[in-house]
Structure 1
Amino acid sequence: MDLELNYFSNGPEFSDRSQLTQPEITQCMSVMEALRNWREADRALSEASRRYMRLNESDMRAIRMLMQAQKQGRVVTPKDIAHEVGISSASTTKLIDRLVVAGHLIRAPHPKDQRTICIDVTPQTAQAARETVGRQHARRFAAAAALSSDERDVVVRFLTALAEADEPQGDLAAQ
């Protein structure tokens, strides 16, 4: 187990363990360790995808958002990309320029607003992303399919509770 997990998870000042036996505490720690291992594997896979496509994190976020928008039939402007990625309009222009030159994006006239343009993912980039993400999704789906129906229900409840537990609280929510 890594230092962060040991430091933050083992202290009784953060979690009430009075109703748990030592084997139950150990089992909970194993769940936390398995989550950490999955997060590391997910992070490594994302990094490998970025290297394969020669993209940085902002580029990948923009492309993911554009592909989702294309699936939904939505038009995306540079302003939409700036909002999604959390960067300035100047940085968005540089991002789009870089991805157009690299053959990942295309600019097109906006269908309703002549003052702006819309941005689309090239068919080649969409195909490459679908293939890599598709393979990843298929492996994850197979892992879920290998569980029983009851086990999947437990996992869904756990992950939903974990997502709720990870909502920013107090000082973090204000930022």
Structure 2
Amino acid sequence: MADGTQSLEDRMRGSEVLQELRRMIGVAGAVGPAVAARAGLSSSELEALEHLMAEPLGPVEIAKRLHVTSAASSGIVDRLERRGHVVREPHPDDRRRTRVVVTPSGRAEVVAHLVPMFTGLAEAEEALSAHDREVVAAFLRRATDAITALL
């Protein structure tokens, strides 16, 4: 710009930190599909397993989280059940309802593919000083808030 200030676009292009953050966001977006392909799962099946690793869910809840129909959710659960990755069981509070629970093999399937990434991330963090960890954590919180604001 004529007054010596840079445009936002120029600042983002020239900032190594923002370039690396953009690169990381792009690479992170490819993790799910790559893990799904290696595990022989569809992206929806992997996403369902990720939700189920956090907590058991009913088929309708799975459909809502995956933004699919109830019929599609049932198909996803059927395929995961055939592979031994999930089981359907009666809901503990309402026997008329069913919940889907991830099995140890389902959990192991996902975790096995992610261990190398998590190991590398842990090593990267361990290489930082305590002060640098605080700075990076603060930056990542603010970056996540900025991205979340877009959503």
Matched, 1:39 2:20: no
The structure 1 segments of at least 4 consecutive aligned residues displaced by more than 4 Å after TM superposition are: 25-28
Structure 1 portions without partners, runs of 5+: 1-10, 18-24, 70-74
Query: 1: distance between equivalents of 2:78 and 2:12?
Result: 51
Query: 2: distance between equivalents of 1:41 and 1:95?
Result: 26
Matched, 1:160 2:141: yes
User: Deviation string for 1:120-167 (max 9, x for gaps)?
Assistant: 122212122222223322211110111111111111111111112113
Q: Which residue of 2 aligns with 1:146?
A: 127
* Pairs aligned (count): 146
Matched, 1:135 2:116: yes
1:65 to 51, 70, 74: 51
Q: 1:90 to 1:27 in 2, by over 3 A?
A: closer
- Ranked by relative contact order (alpha carbons within 8 Å, sequence separation 6 or more), the top structure is 2
User: Deviation string for 1:3-24 (max 9, x for gaps)?
Assistant: xxxxxxxx82xx398xxxxxxx
SS of corresponding position for 1:147: coil
SS of corresponding position for 1:90: helix
Q: Decide which moves more: 149-158 or 26-35.
A: 26-35
Q: 1:44 to 1:27 in 2, by over 3 A?
A: closer
| 1:83 Cα deviation after fit | 2.4
Structure 2 portions without partners, runs of 5+: 1-5
Q: Decide which moves more: 38-47 or 138-147.
A: 38-47
Report % sequence identity.
27
CA-based RMSD of the aligned residues comes to 2.5
